[in-house]
Amino acid sequence: MSRKTPPTKASPRRSRPKAPTTPPQAATGRPTPDAADDRQIVLAVVIGAHGIGGEVRLKVFAEDFSAFGAFNNGALTLSSLREGSNGAIARFAEVRDRNAAEALRGTELTVARDALPGLEDGEYYHADLIGLPVVLTTGEAIGRVVLVENFGAGDVLEIERDAGGRFMVPMRPEAVPEWSAERLVVEPAFAE
């Protein structure tokens, strides 16, 4: 199993900040099939201004953030991107000075789900796992995925039990033998 980074590494896509637009939801809490392509996926968050010329510092969750030129339904257009000592430094065509850059602090930079590259077998985007119903290999429904984190050793799923409480499971074959767009299956030993 491998993952694609756009959208997130260990926060928003994973635990990432929630996308600003909310898609229609089916009774299961998952986007309806027609809405799936409209979902906005968070690729980065503005963490502050950089300098006086309108540049911003970003926490980036995508492997190739610069491949996307426009964010938030075209509201922000990427002019330049470079690495800084504390995250990426970006300039957007619409941001002219430090005040405008400061006003963006906390803004999530999103793209439509269908703008992301396709996936190979065994790959997934964090955003596609969040909200999935979780069942044990025995068939018992136990909850839903609420967060995907990555602390450096691989993805870890946070699952909220239907009965209350949360637990974490590594996204590895021995713990999660299968998943699909409809559900995620967990070995009982990892759900204790």
CATH superfamily of 131-191: PRC-barrel domain (2.30.30.240)
In the chain, which segments carry CATH 2.30.30.240? 131-191
Q: Burial level of 52, CB count in 10 A (0-12/13-18/19+)?
A: exposed
Q: What is the pTM of this model?
A: 0.66
Is residue 3's pLDDT more than 70? no
In whole numbers, what is the pLDDT of the chain averaged over residues? Answer: 82
Cα distances from 58 to residues 61, 62, 85, 93, 163, in angstroms, run 9, 11, 11, 16, 37
Average pLDDT over residues 7-31: 33
Task: For the chain, give every residue range classified as CATH 2.40.30.60.
Answer: 2-115
CATH, range 2-115: 2.40.30.60
- 75-94 confidence digits (pLDDT tens): 999 999 999 888 899 999 99
